[in-house]
Amino acid sequence: MGKLRYLAILGAAALTLGGIAAPAQAMDQAAYDAAQAALASALYDIEGNLIEKEAIEMNAKDLEPKGRSITERATDYQQRVQQHNAYCQGTFEEPEYSRRLAACNAEEAQYNTLIRQLDLEREGFQAQLAELQARDTRRQQAAQPMLKRLETGVVQLVTSCISMTLPEQRELCHLPSAPGPRTAPMISQMNATLRGELAKSAQ
């Protein structure tokens, strides 16, 4: 749901304004109220969608230390296994052979246990990442009809504004107040663009 998508929404509204000069009839209050209600509903849902986006990003950030820890331990185990293999090869006389064999067998069992535990932890970590990715995919899919409703609401608002006097347009032709801080910048930008399109249509 980026900036270009919102500008495209306003582009559709600008097409509605094309070629329109002075208002031809009285303001349709019911149509205006319906447009505002549709916009408020869409914006509320978009705010919730952006809240979900922040939550997913926060969850992903919380997983970063675990990912680093797994990578660091995997590197450490690899180095230790290489050292173990270097130590545990060769031909030795007794009692050095028996001593090394016992030490190497004990180390090998320890490293196998550590590596199995790390593999299980890595699988759990990757499953958590996959779930976050799935959540974000669902969130993005859910956002598409919200944006379509926003686009429809903007066109309805512009259509309603066409029948207004210039003072009414200046007072009433704007999107509803932002339902939260995440949609506030987008609404401010859209209102500025809408005012500019209305001003051009009145020239």
Q: Where are the domains of the chain?
A: 3-74+118-201
- H helices then E strands: how many in the chain? 5, 0
Q: Report pLDDT digits (tens) over 160-182.
A: 988 888 888 889 999 999 999 99
Query: Does position 109 have pLDDT exceeding 50, yes or no?
Result: yes
Question: What proportions of the chain, in percent to the nearest 5, are helix, strand and coil?
Answer: 80, 0, 20
Task: Find the DSSP H helices in 2-28.
Answer: 3-17
pLDDT of residue 124: 97
- On whether the CB atoms of residues 176 and 201 are closer than 8 A, the answer is no
Whole-angstrom Cα distance, residue 54 to residue 185? Answer: 16
Q: Report pLDDT digits (tens) over 73-98.
A: 999 999 999 999 999 998 889 999 99
Query: Does position 191 have pLDDT exceeding 80, yes or no?
Result: yes
pLDDT of residue 20: 41
pLDDT of residue 23: 45
- On whether the CB atoms of residues 126 and 63 are closer than 8 A, the answer is no
Q: Determine the 3-state secondary structure of 167 from DSSP.
A: helix
* Residue 108 Rama label (left phi>0; alpha psi -120 to 50; beta): alpha
| Residue 126 Cα to chain centre, angstroms | 19
Beta strands in the chain (DSSP E): none
Q: Report pLDDT digits (tens) over 46-55.
A: 999 999 999 9
Q: What is the pTM of this model?
A: 0.79
Report, in angstroms and rounded to the nearest whole number, the Rg of the chain calculated over CA atoms. 31
- On whether the CB atoms of residues 154 and 18 are closer than 8 A, the answer is no
Backbone angles phi, psi at 101, to 5 degrees: -60, -45
Q: How many CB atoms lie within 10 A of CB 81?
A: 16
Q: What is the largest CA-CA distance in the chain?
A: 108
